[in-house]
């Protein structure tokens, strides 16, 4: 967590959801979102080279198989054109 986020959290704990600054009263949630969007997390996965305008979310799911349920991580991707895709992330294995 960066110093700026730590300071915002400290101010929120002391003064509630309102942050008083030289710019007036600010909302903690709005300021936190601004910090998050100004510092995006960029991840690169194989198989996503052609997804340029999409949102990517990694989630854990349980998949039901004839041998029972197994856990797997997948990427959910969505594009501005309305496309939706799920990509299975293979676990790291030593060979």
Q: So where are the chain's domains?
A: 3-38, 55-89
What string of pLDDT tens digits covers the 95 residues of the chain?
Answer: 566 777 777 766 666 666 666 776 777 677 777 877 777 666 666 666 665 656 678 888 888 888 888 888 888 877 777 777 777 776 644 43
Chain mean position to CA 93 = 25
Contact call for residues 73 and 45 (beta carbons, < 8 A): no
DSSP, residue by residue, 15-63? HTTEEEETTEEEEHHHHHHHHHHHS------TT-TT--S-EEEEEEEEE
Predicted local distance difference test score (pLDDT) of residue 21:
67
What are φ and ψ of residue 32, in 5° steps? -65, -45
Predicted local distance difference test score (pLDDT) of residue 62:
87
Can you name the residues that pair with 64 across neighbouring β-strands? 69
Predicted local distance difference test score (pLDDT) of residue 91:
61
Predicted local distance difference test score (pLDDT) of residue 88:
79
Give pTM, 2 decimals.
Answer: 0.38
C-alpha to C-alpha distance for 37 and 81, rounded to whole angstroms: 22
Token pair for 33: 């979102």
């Amino acid at each position: 967590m960066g110093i700026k986020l730590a300071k915002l959290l400290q101010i929120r704990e002391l003064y509630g959801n309102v942050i008083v600054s030289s710019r007036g009263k600010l909302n903690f949630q709005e300021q936190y979102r601004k910090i998050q969007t100004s510092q995006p997390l960029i991840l690169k996965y194989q198989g996503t080279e052609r997804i340029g305008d999409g949102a990517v979310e990694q989630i854990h799911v349980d998949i039901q198989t004839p041998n029972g349920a197994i856990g797997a991580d997948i990427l959910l991707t969505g594009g501005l054109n309305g496309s939706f895709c799920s990509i299975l992330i293979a676990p790291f294995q030593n060979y």
